[in-house]
Amino acid sequence: MKSIPNHLNYTPKPIEKIAEIAGIDLKYIEPYGHYKGKIDLSLIKTLPPEKKGKLIFCTTINPTPAGEGKTTTTIALADALNLLGKKTILNLREPALGPLFGVRGGAIGGGKAQIIPRHDLVLHFTGDMHALTSANNLISAVLDNHIYQGNELNIDIRKIIHRHAIDMNDRQLRNMVTGLGKSHGTPREDGFDITPATELMTILCLAKDYRDLKTRISKIIIAYNQHGRPVTVEDLKISGAVTVLLKEALKPNLVQSIGGTPAMVHGGPFANIAHGCCSIVSTNLSLKLADFVVTEASFGADVGGEKFLDIKCRLGGYTPEAVVIVVSLKALKYHGGVDKKDLARESLPGLKKGLPNLIKHIENFQQVFQLPVLVAINSFEEDTLAELNLLQEECSQKGVKAILVKGWNEGGSGAINLAEEVINLTSQNHKSSFQFVYPIDKPVIDKIETIACKIYGAEGCSFAPQAYRELDKIENSPFRKLPVCIAKTQFSLTDNPLKLGRPQNFKININDLRVHAGAGLIIAFTGDIMTMPGLPRLPSALMMDIDEEGNYIGLSS
């Protein structure tokens, strides 16, 4: 096991100092306490119109219980770039309460490579999640009130698709009947989604300004009427009210890493359900302020990575300068079938069997997206030289350098070699040949199958009758030219979370499709994916406490 470094031995800088390092005039900073703040959106109007910074995208293989260290390595890389004199800003997603109290933890990095103030970050932070939850539930409240007050829009209560939201894992809320009892509303089927999986979360992260935010909110389809026509938020006349609730939430949050690197932590959609990327407004600001912007997306390269490139980069007009795939030997051995309890032991056969998962992701970035790739090896004390040599040799055969990183123990100084390779790779005067997976005007079915075949390695897709019905509707509507967002398990290249490594001879099962008109996406649901997670048998909440001095216990690394 790793020894825990004394990462509490640091002095955080006041948020005003972090703003100064980032090049932000203090009049655009709205402090939330001493070490976090909001950035006024009017700042962007004062900055040069052209983008300045180089965008570095960090991702990983299909996640495993062994851990890959993606966020830790992302933070260490940004710290290392700053140590080398390159002005760098981190772009990360906000943690959610559901995973924190469930199984995943705070998603803020670990050891000497994490963002702070960590307890604020993993709990209520600046209130963005609560604002999104309230905005989502305002739509639900007005929708049900409209039906109760006479249903002027002739809404078919059997075809209401908007659901309530809460930032908590609670399977009991997935499906229910509400409105029971005299004068308590209209009885109907209903349910809750976890806040990071809502369309409003995606909208917050894709909106470029307040006007765009309000326009997107107005287009959200909440139900269908008795004639099968969509009913939107604008039809309920509450686009303005919902936007009011999200006014502060659209402002990027500014914090710092332990190494003193400015970090914009804003928005937190899941990549297995939504698009899994932090906000466009934070990335736009960062690219105008910094030499390097280091960012990541939720989960692995097949879900968060593909959506970052095909959705966020398409909409934002971004071209990443380089991709860093973070791996650990333990995670690769897990993909090779090594039992979790044996991952700390050397297993060259297990590693060799698990390496094809990494190789598939490398091939996707090189051959499909046509982007330069580096591999960052998140170091553990148990790693052996023979295993490291095998991994580096396999990467070398693909023309990719694999660099050992010790961010958890050493922070930015443990990622200097990786940062130097990033600088070298992005200093070469090569013309970018970055490609999207599919052209936007392709038929919807072709977009879905292209992702499945090129990115996941599937032989094709199998569409359920319900999915075919929705495909037909979408193809005959203006929505047919929207990007596709496939809701799929993060644990496998397939739609079956138990199939590890690089499976062969499989199809992706598409169960349903839904138009998120406000977000501007077509969501394709696969396998058993759910928009409301449940808690495990032993949730992380059981290990948390607070002492009589108000100090947290068991809350984060």
pLDDT at residue 269 above 60?
Answer: yes
What's the Cα-to-Cα distance from 429 to each of 276, 425, 426, 432, 551, rounded to whole Å?
31, 9, 8, 9, 51
pLDDT band at 7 (very low <50, low <70, confident <90, very high): very low
Q: Is residue 299 part of a domain?
A: yes
Number of domains in the chain: 3
What is the C-alpha separation between 299 and 307, in angstroms, rounded?
A: 11
Query: 77 and 140, same structural domain?
Result: no
Query: 206 and 314, same structural domain?
Result: no
Q: Which of 371, 395, 427 is the last residue of a domain?
A: 427
Query: 361 and 317, same structural domain?
Result: yes
pLDDT at residue 556 in the model: 58
Binding residues for ATP: 64-71
pLDDT band at 274 (very low <50, low <70, confident <90, very high): confident
What is the C-alpha separation between 269 and 167, in angstroms, rounded?
A: 11
- The arithmetic mean of pLDDT across residues 382-402, rounded, is 97
Query: 401 and 289, same structural domain?
Result: yes
pLDDT, tens digit, 9 for 90 and up, residues 409-424: 999 999 999 999 999 9
Structure tokens at 400: 């990719």
**What is the DSSP annotation of 169-237?**
--GGGSSEEE--STTS---EEE-EEEGGGSHHHHHHHH--SHHHHHHHHHT-EEEEETTS-EEETGGGT
Kindly state the percentage of the chain with pLDDT values over 90: 88
CATH of the domain at 221: 3.30.1510.10
Kindly state the percentage of the chain with pLDDT values over 70: 97
Binding residues: 64-71
Query: 141 and 107, same structural domain?
Result: no
What's the Cα-to-Cα distance from 409 to each of 3, 203, 262, 480, 539, rounded to whole Å?
8, 37, 20, 49, 27
Q: Where does 258-326 have alpha helices with state H?
A: 280-289, 306-307, 313-316
pLDDT, tens digit, 9 for 90 and up, residues 138-187: 999 999 999 999 999 999 999 999 999 999 999 999 999 999 988 888 99
CATH of the domain at 333: 3.40.50.300
User: Could you tell me whether strands 322-327 and 292-296 are parallel, antiparallel, or unpaired per DSSP bridges?
Assistant: unpaired
Query: 214 and 123, same structural domain?
Result: no
Contact (Cβ atoms closer than 8 angstroms) between residue 78 and residue 294 = yes
Q: Which of 245, 271, 296 is the last residue of a domain?
A: 245
pLDDT at residue 3 in the model: 40
pLDDT band at 500 (very low <50, low <70, confident <90, very high): very high
Q: Where does 319-384 have alpha helices with state H?
A: 329-335, 348-363
- The arithmetic mean of pLDDT across residues 347-373, rounded, is 98
Query: 264 and 115, same structural domain?
Result: yes
What is the C-alpha separation between 28 and 254, in angstroms, rounded?
A: 11
Q: Is residue 384 part of a domain?
A: yes
pLDDT at residue 100 in the model: 87
Q: Is residue 557 part of a domain?
A: no
Question: Within 10 A of 105 (CB to CB), how many other CB atoms are there?
Answer: 17
What is the C-alpha separation between 36 and 503, in angstroms, rounded?
A: 44
pLDDT at residue 1 in the model: 33
Comparing C-alpha atoms, which of 476, 378, 294 is closest to residue 72? Answer: 378
Query: 461 and 321, same structural domain?
Result: no
pLDDT at residue 243 above 50?
Answer: yes
Comparing C-alpha atoms, which of 287, 343, 346 is closest to residue 316? Answer: 287
pLDDT at residue 104 in the model: 62
pLDDT at residue 271 in the model: 82
Contact (Cβ atoms closer than 8 angstroms) between residue 26 and residue 37 = no
Q: Is residue 61 part of a domain?
A: yes
Query: 257 and 388, same structural domain?
Result: yes
Query: 106 and 21, same structural domain?
Result: yes
Long-range CB pairs of 126-130, under 8 A, 24+ apart, other chains included: 126/32, 126/36, 126/38, 126/248, 126/253, 127/248, 127/249, 128/94, 128/204, 128/248, 128/249, 128/253, 128/266, 128/267, 128/268, 129/94, 129/96, 129/97, 129/167, 129/195, 129/196, 129/268, 130/167
Q: SS3 for 470? A: helix
pLDDT at residue 106 above 50?
Answer: yes
Q: Is residue 531 part of a domain?
A: no
pLDDT at residue 105 in the model: 62
Query: 231 and 273, same structural domain?
Result: no
pLDDT at residue 242 above 80?
Answer: yes
Q: Is residue 544 part of a domain?
A: no
pLDDT at residue 102 above 90?
Answer: no
pLDDT at residue 319 above 60?
Answer: yes
What is the C-alpha separation between 212 and 198, in angstroms, rounded?
A: 18
Range of the domain at 186: 128-245
pLDDT at residue 2 in the model: 42
Q: Is residue 8 part of a domain?
A: no
Query: 263 and 122, same structural domain?
Result: yes
Q: Is residue 461 part of a domain?
A: yes
CATH of the domain at 454: 3.10.410.10
What is the C-alpha separation between 290 and 285, in angstroms, rounded?
A: 9
Q: Which of 427, 461, 483 is the last residue of a domain?
A: 427
